[in-house]
């Protein structure tokens, strides 16, 4: 992999980390503390200045409640459209109900993924 491709991948992974962290309602300090790294290191990771160490990917994924492969997955246009539609539906609900719906969607999604692997 050339330097430009490595930089692009680091930026993509960093964007996923930042997006998932924010969706979980975590600050950089909170996630960095969970990972045992500095907030500055996490910030540089999220900005694509550095890439997470390969050995740290499982811990990072677990902290973000996802699989390692999800750190590399870029949403499709259709996924973004659907996510925006769900966000529109949730916007009129109070935060605690939004969190409940998100947990329901996450649980349903996990169940469907497991069923689709059988």
Residue 34's pLDDT is 95
* DSSP 8-state secondary structure symbol assigned to residue 51: P
53-85 pLDDT, tens digit per residue, is: 999 999 999 999 999 999 998 778 888 898 889
- Total domains present in the chain: 2
Q: In CATH, what number is assigned to the domain containing residue 37? A: 1.10.260.40
Shared domain for 27 and 66, answered yes or no, is: yes
Q: Which domain holds residue 8?
A: 3-71
Shared domain for 63 and 18, answered yes or no, is: yes
Shared domain for 62 and 99, answered yes or no, is: no
Average pLDDT over residues 106-116: 89
Residue 106's pLDDT is 86
Whole-prediction pTM:
0.66
For residue 56, give both structure tokens.
């740290």
Shared domain for 64 and 16, answered yes or no, is: yes
Shared domain for 61 and 89, answered yes or no, is: no
- Long-range CB contacts for residues 106-110, cutoff 8 Å, separation at least 24: 106/65
Average pLDDT over residues 31-60: 95
Query: Could you tell me the maximum CA-CA distance found in the chain, to the nearest angstrom?
Result: 47
Residue 13's pLDDT is 95
For residue 18, give both structure tokens.
């930042």
Shared domain for 64 and 81, answered yes or no, is: no
Q: Among the residues of 24-94, which ranges form H helices?
A: 28-35, 39-46, 57-63, 77-90
Shared domain for 37 and 10, answered yes or no, is: yes
Residue 1's pLDDT is 61
């Amino acid at each position: 992999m050339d330097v430009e491709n490595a930089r692009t991948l680091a930026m993509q992974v960093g964007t996923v980390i930042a997006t998932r962290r924010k969706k979980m309602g975590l600050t950089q300090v909170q996630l960095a503390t969970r990972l045992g790294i500095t907030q500055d290191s996490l910030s540089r990771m999220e900005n694509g200045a550095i890439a997470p160490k390969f050995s740290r990917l499982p811990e990072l994924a677990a902290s973000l409640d996802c699989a390692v492969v999800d750190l590399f997955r870029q949403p499709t246009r259709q996924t973004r459209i659907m996510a925006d539609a769900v966000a529109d539906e949730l916007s009129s609900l109070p935060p605690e109900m939004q969190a409940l719906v998100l947990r329901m969607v996450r649980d349903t999604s996990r169940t469907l993924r497991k069923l689709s692997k059988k």
